[in-house]
């Protein structure tokens, strides 16, 4: 029976992953955080290594792996943007057969993935789309549009097999509803100036909030 996508992970992206022969694969999860994807993949794969630069998140991931008795899932602190780090990891284990990056994508990460994967191996990623939270007037610096992501992957010797924009536009009947939908984001948005822009958008009559991601599977040529 098919295993359901972990909470907050798009079923489309999960299907791209589970279509691969996971039981035979060593997987690198880039920007794993506290291991949402790594822990879900653990029971399905030969081995999973989650890397992140946030030591606190990794500690939580280790706790969760131990609680779930997942001996084949490990977590390593590492800056995935830094050139060469993947190779240091690779020195301690075989090169990954599959690299996943869920909401942690940069040009450097794509380039590093290209260097770590043998021809025929897959990079599967979810990136923020430039339309993510467009109502705040500011795209994340990690956001891509379709053309830029496809271009970066092609330049790094990947053949793009699947690239899909997944967009959800919430529509609100009132300002109160719109504010309630963004409540968990307020602190972060106040810090980076987005909150002010969102307020302005609502004052001007806007009543939407857009979430948008790109789900991608690309194969190293
Ligand atoms: C939005 S979270 C996604 C976490 C996880 N993939 C998930 O879906 O639950 C982004 C994660 O990427 C990590 N990250 C961002 N830049 C990184 C880098 N250069 N090297 C390693 N981790 C990074 C952050 O620490 C954070 O845990």
- Here the CATH number for the domain that contains residue 163 is 3.40.50.150
204 Cα: distance to centroid of ligand 1 (angstroms): 34
What is the total residue count of the chain? Answer: 221
Nearest to 214 by CA among 149, 139, 133: 149
1 Cα: distance to centroid of ligand 1 (angstroms): 30
Residue 194 lies in a domain: no
β-pair partners for 29: 50, 100
Residue 202 lies in a domain: no
Burial of 75 (0-12, 13-18, 19+ CB in 10 A): buried
Q: Which atom of ligand 1 is nearest to the CA of 9?
A: 8
Torsion on CA atoms 201, 199, 203, 137, rounded to nearest 10? -10
What SS3 state is found at 192? helix
- Cβ-contact 120, 97 below 8 angstroms: no
Residue 140's pLDDT is what?
84
What SS3 state is found at 205? coil
Residue 36 lies in a domain: yes
Residue 196 lies in a domain: no
Residue 85's pLDDT is what?
67
Task: For ligand 1, pick from 104, 127, 129 the residue to mutate: most ligand atoms within 8 Å of CB.
Answer: 104
- Cβ-contact 144, 165 below 8 angstroms: no
How many domains are there within the chain?
Answer: 1
Backbone conformation region of residue 143, classed left if phi is above 0, alpha if psi is from -120 to 50, else beta:
beta
Residue 83's pLDDT is what?
73
Q: Which atom of ligand 1 is nearest to the CA of 31?
A: 12
Residue 124 lies in a domain: yes
Residue numbers of the domain that contains 162: 11-169+212-220
Both tokens of residue 44? 């399905």
Angle between helices 107-116 and 146-155 (to 10 degrees): 30
* Cα separation, 127 vs 118, whole angstroms: 22
33 Cα: distance to centroid of ligand 1 (angstroms): 5
Residue 91's pLDDT is what?
59
Taking the whole predicted model, whether its pTM rises above 0.75 is answered as yes
Burial of 50 (0-12, 13-18, 19+ CB in 10 A): buried
Residue 49 lies in a domain: yes
Residue 68's pLDDT is what?
97
Residue 191 lies in a domain: no
- Cβ-contact 102, 216 below 8 angstroms: no
For ligand 1, residues with CB inside 6 Å are 31-33, 36-37, 52-54, 57, 79-81, 102-104
Mean pLDDT, contiguous 10-residue spans, the chain (221 residues):
90 96 96 97 96 96 98 93 72 82 95 93 97 93 95 98 97 97 94 95 97 97 97
- Cβ-contact 117, 156 below 8 angstroms: no
Residue 180 lies in a domain: no
Determine phi and psi for 6, rounding to 5 degrees: -65, 155
Residue 2: CB atoms within 10 A of its CB come to 8
Which residue, judged by its Cα, is nearest atom 11 of ligand 1? 31
Both tokens of residue 26? 């060593």
């Amino acid at each position: 029976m098919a295993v359901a996508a972990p909470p907050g992970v798009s079923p489309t992206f999960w299907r791209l992953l589970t279509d691969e022969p996971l039981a035979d694969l060593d997987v690198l999860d880039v920007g794993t955080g506290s291991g949402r994807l790594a822990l879900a993949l653990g029971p399905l794969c030969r081995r999973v290594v989650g890397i992140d630069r946030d030591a606190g998140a990794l500690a939580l991931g280790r706790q969760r792996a131990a609680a779930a008795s997942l001996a084949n899932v490990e977590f390593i602190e590492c800056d995935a943007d830094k050139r060469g780090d993947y190779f240091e990891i690779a020195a301690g284990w075989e090169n990954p057969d599959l690299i996943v990056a869920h909401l942690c994508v940069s040009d450097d990460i794509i380039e590093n993935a290209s260097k770590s994967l043998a021809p025929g191996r897959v990079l599967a990623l979810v990136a923020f789309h430039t339309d993510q939270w467009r109502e705040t007037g500011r795209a994340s610096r990690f956001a891509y549009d379709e053309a830029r992501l496809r271009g970066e992957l092609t330049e790094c010797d990947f053949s793009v097999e699947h690239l899909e924009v997944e967009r959800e536009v919430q529509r609100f009947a009132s300002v109160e509803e719109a504010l309630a939908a963004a409540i968990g984001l307020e602190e972060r948005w106040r810090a980076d100036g987005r909150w002010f822009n969102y307020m302005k958008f609502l004052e001007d009559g806007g009543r939407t909030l857009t979430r948008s991601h790109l789900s991608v599977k690309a194969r190293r040529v």
